[in-house]
Every structure is written in structure tokens, then in C-alpha cells.
Amino acid sequence: MEKLFGTDGIRGMANVYPMTAEMAMNVGRALACISKKEGHMPRIIVGRDTRLSGDMFETAIISGICSMGVNAISVGVVPTPGIAFLTNSMRADAGVVISASHNPLQDNGIKIFNSDGFKLADEKETLIEEMIFFNNMHKLHPSPGELGKLSRMDDAAGRYIVFLKHAFPKELNPEGMKVVLDCANGATYRVAPATFLELGLQVTTLFDQPDGRNINANCGSQHPEALAQEVLRQKADVGFAFDGDGDRLIAVDEKGNVLTGDQILAICAVALKKEGMLTNNFVVRTVMSNMGLSVAFQKLGIDSVFANVGDRFVLEEMRACGAVIGGEDSGHLIFMQHHTTGDGLITALQLLAAMKKEGKPLSELARVMTVFPQVLINLDVQRKPDIEAVPEIIAAIKQAEEALGDKGRVLVRYSGTQNMCRVMVEGPTKEETQTYCRRIADVVEKMLA
């Protein structure tokens, strides 16, 4: 059977299969169908980011939901973790986010949360795929006149802001601290400034004028250069860059240095350990984590376990080993004591709390981890065969691994959300790392592009 769902929902170019209005309507219908229970009127929350195509997909999904006799609640533009919170808080049966996260404008996607605020279970994704691909849609129509109703929640952003503020320790006072926010012209453009202002910080906001076309455009977590410059210009204490749907965070210290997700993970893990809150002394990270994180955790006496790339895999591992914190080098961190999913704003608040507790600038806290030279090359590919089945690529990887020995590592993997192959190399020097990464990338491009 054909697959719709990847590692983070359904994603692709808007108006191109599978991200078509027709498919969005069918996903809405199928989700409504599996949400039905005897004697219960289901409610499904629907939100989106600021992409131009969001209106089209929102209308299609809501139409599909209502056509099945299920009620839909539209919350408008709200970050992805905000939808997870609202779904759980409102006791809704499911939550739908229309977003392609950090992807460029032309893409869009559909993410679905269970009623508990966690990502939709694999078995439910399979049920939706079966309904669509086995052409069972014609059997799903309810009785004539049995239609769902659409309502709109005008205070969704306000509810989410209150939730966020509760994630910052009450005993700490950040009043007077200067912060610069890069909202990526995305879903955080209203809630991020409001949250930090209400906590008493001095806030400068960048890229908070979404026009439907400028989301993630040379801004946000993928492009923190402008943020770093503004932090220096404002002489701010810290800068925070979010991605288009607000589930990732990249930070900039007071000296204009960009911190990776791994550095943020290390700082927050140390803070939890000092407070005795690092349950089981465990942190979950991914195979893409920098080697420097391994060295740091070893020195700090913190245990860690690897998960596959993707927040759902990080979360699965966290729940399995009882960890309260986990994340990816991309800046996607999960704090289980606060939320059920990755939340860039909660991550920013926890980093801010660590700064206040230690009474140290972010640049000093970041010294807990030395980042090994790392080069990542993303390559568009036409096909995704098993890497092990392409001898030329395996040979290039082996050559690099033998040359690096125990002073570096190589990781070649496909993106779970785009037609892309990622070649990552870490090594003892920047020059060696770039050389070997480029050699492997050239072979991948030749064989798969």
C-alpha cells in the first residue's frame, strides 16, 4: 500500500500530489471517521502557519471533517505545539496542523495530534491511508442531514501564551533582560513577542510581518545571520530564532555566536541535573548529534541514548526510558515536564531560565560543549534507494571513515520530509571535514540526482 505519512506527517509541494486540496479533504474525512464513537460528537481542532496555501488546505480539511458529521474548531494561525496544547486542553478528539515547518513557501503539510496532545499513533495513520488508498471514501458518508458544524476560537493564541508563561519558573524574574526574536514570518509572529513582553523582558522582534509568501525566507532557525547581527546591535542578552511552525529553536548568545540544538540540549540537561530533575540521569539525542555532545555528557556524568532522526522517534525513546528531555541538533527539543511535543518557545524559556539560575551569560553556559567541526550537505534527489544498495556511495563512505578513523564519523541518510539526501561528516579539522563531505556528496549527486 502507498504511504502518505512520513516522519512528520504528510508533506510536499502545495497543489502537487499528495499535497492537493482533494487529498486534504479525504484526510479530513478519514480522520473524522476514526474519531467517531457511539454516543459522542467528536471535535477536531484545525490550525495552520502563515503560508499562502494554508487557507486552501484549511478549507479542504474542515470540509472533509464536517461532511462526516463531525465538528471542526478553527483556531487560525497558531504554532504547531500550540495545537497540541489546545487539543489536550480542550479535550478535543484530534488536532490538525497545516504546516511544512522549516520548509520553503512552496511546500505545505498536514500534522495530526491525538486527543492527548501526542503525535497521531502509527496505527491510526495506517487506518487513514487504508481508507484513502482502498477507495473506501464513498462508504464514509453519514446519513443525509448529519453534518458537522464549524466554530472559530478567537482566544486560541491567548490560551497558548498563558500555557507558555507557566513553563517559566515563577521564582525567577527576567525583567529587564533584552531579547531579540526572529519569528521567521511564521506561526510565532504574535505569540512569541507577547509571551516575552508579558514576562517583563525588553523585546525586539524581527521577521514578524508575514504576507503568505515570506515564511522562512532568509530568516528563522535556518538563517540566523540577521538575528546575530541584531543581537550585537541591540547589545541584547540573547536572541531566539524560530522556524515556520514554531517547534524549533536556534539561539544566539550576547556575542553574536549561533548555538546549535545540541548546545542548547547540553545546557538545559546540565540545569536539570543540578536541580535533581534529570529523571534517570538520561537524555535522548539522535544519530545526527555532534560528537562534541558525547564528550560533554561523558564529562558531566550524564547518560544518553540515540534515537532515529525525527521528533516522534525522540519522543518514543524518551517515553521508553523515562527521560524528561531529548532533542535534535536542528533545535527541535522536547521537555516532557512541560509539553507533549517539541516547542521552540518552551525551549527558549528553559534556556532563559538556565541563564537566570546560573547568573551567567549564554556564551559562558555554552562552554559546557565544544562543537566538533561538522559539515552537512543537503542534496535534492530523484529517488531514494537503500544507501547500502548503491556500491559507489558505500565505497565513498568507507574511504572517508577509514581516513578519519576514531577522530570523526560519517552519516548519510535521507530526509523523512523532503526528496533530499543529507551527507554529514565530522572530523578533527574543518578542512578535512569539508573535503570528505564534498567527496561523498559528489558521488551521491552523481548516482541519485
3-state secondary structure the chain: CCCCCECCEEEEECCECCECHHHHHHHHHHHHHHHCECCECCEEEEEECCCCCHHHHHHHHHHHHHHCCCEEEEEEECCHHHHHHHHHHCCCCEEEEECCCCCCCCEEEEEEEECCCCECCHHHHHHHHHHHHCCCHHHCCCCCCCCCCEEECCCHHHHHHHHHHCCCCCCCCCCCCEEEEECCCCCCCCHHHHHHHHCCCEEEEECCCCCCCCCCCCCHHHCCHHHHHHHHHHCCCEEEEECCCCCCEEEECCCCCEECHHHHHHHHHHHHHHCCCCHHHEEEEECCCCHHHHHHHHHHCCEEEEECCCHHHHHHHHHHHCCCEEECCCCCEEECCCCCCCCHHHHHHHHHHHHHHHCCCHHHHHHHCCCCCEEEEEEECCCCCCHHHCHHHHHHHHHHHHHHHHHCEEEEEECCCCCEEEEEEECCCHHHHHHHHHHHHHHHHHHHC
Q: Which whole number is the average pLDDT over 215-225?
A: 97
Point out the domain boundary residue: 154, 184, 211.
154
Tell whether 107 and 181 lie within a shared domain.
no
Whole-number mean pLDDT of the chain?
Answer: 94
Would residue 165 count as lying in a domain?
yes
Is 135's pLDDT higher than 80? no
Confidence of residue 41 (pLDDT cuts 50, 70, 90): very high
Residues 83 and 202 in one domain: no
Convert the pLDDT of each residue in 278-329 to its tens digit.
999 999 999 889 999 999 999 999 999 999 988 889 999 999 999 999 999 9
Same domain, 140 and 206: no
Same domain? 242 vs 385: no
- What is the domain count for the chain? 3
Residues 240 and 91 grouped into a single domain: no
Please give the pLDDT value at position 2: 80
Examine the domain organization and report whether 168 and 260 are in the same domain: yes
Statement: residue 138 has pLDDT above 70: no
* Residue at 1 is within a domain: no
Q: Are residues 297 and 433 in the same domain?
A: no
Residue 2: inside a domain, yes or no? no
pTM of this structure: 0.90
Shared-domain flag, residues 277 and 414: no
Predicted confidence (pLDDT) at residue 383 exceeds the cutoff of 80: yes
Residue 5 within any structural domain of the chain: no
Tell me: do 420 and 284 sit in the same domain. no
CATH of the domain at 416: 3.30.310.50
Domain assignment present for 397: yes
Please tell me whether residues 180 and 319 are part of one structural domain: yes
Average pLDDT over residues 78-106: 97
Give 152-193 pLDDT, tens digit per residue. 999 999 999 999 999 999 999 999 999 999 999 999 999 999
Indicate whether 3 belongs to any domain. no
Q: Give catalytic residue positions.
A: 101
- The domain of 104 spans 10-154
Domain boundary among 327, 351, 368: 368
pLDDT of the residue at 141: 67
What is the structure's pLDDT at 137? 67
Query: Which of 368, 402, 422 marks a domain boundary?
Result: 368
Same domain, 325 and 340: yes
Residue at 49 is within a domain = yes
Would you say residue 419 lies in a domain? yes
Q: Check which CATH number belongs to the domain holding 34 and give it.
A: 3.40.120.10
Over 90: is that where the pLDDT of 406 sits?
no
State whether 177 and 269 are in the same domain.
yes
